[in-house]
Amino acid sequence: MWDILSKEMHAFIVLVDSYDREGLVQAKRLLRTFRRKGRIPYLVAANKQDVENALSVEAVAKALGLDEKTPIIPCVATDRASVRNVLQELKKLLEGS
């Protein structure tokens, strides 16, 4: 399935739940899979930043094993401005590649 999804992919966003620590383990596996497909630009959107006890953006980056070059954007998926910011960051990433 991932081969089909990544066939003509120009970039991707991984939306993670900052409150779901088990989900971060799955996201880490997904990132590993897509990184093997080549040098495709991506960013991570750390969702649920408005939830009490959610991991910080820095803690999410650490849990995913991201380096400082990988953009990780705080996000609240129910907030249009927040989602727009994630998409704008993806656009910048594509323009820079």
Q: In the predicted model, what is the mean pLDDT of the chain?
A: 91
Model pLDDT, residue 56? 97
Among all chains, which residue has been given the structure tokens 């960013």? 43
According to DSSP H, which parts of the chain are helical?
A: 2-6, 21-35, 57-64, 80-96
The proportion of the chain whose per-residue pLDDT surpasses 90, expressed as a percent, equals 73
Angle at 44 between CA 38 and CA 37, to 5 degrees: 15
Q: What is the pLDDT of residues 52-97, one digit of tens each?
A: 999 999 999 999 999 999 999 999 999 999 999 999 999 999 998 6
CB neighbours of 45 closer than 8 A, spacing ≥ 6? 13, 14, 15, 16, 72, 73, 75, 86
What value does the mean pLDDT take over residues 24-50? 90
- Predicted TM-score (pTM) of this structure: 0.89
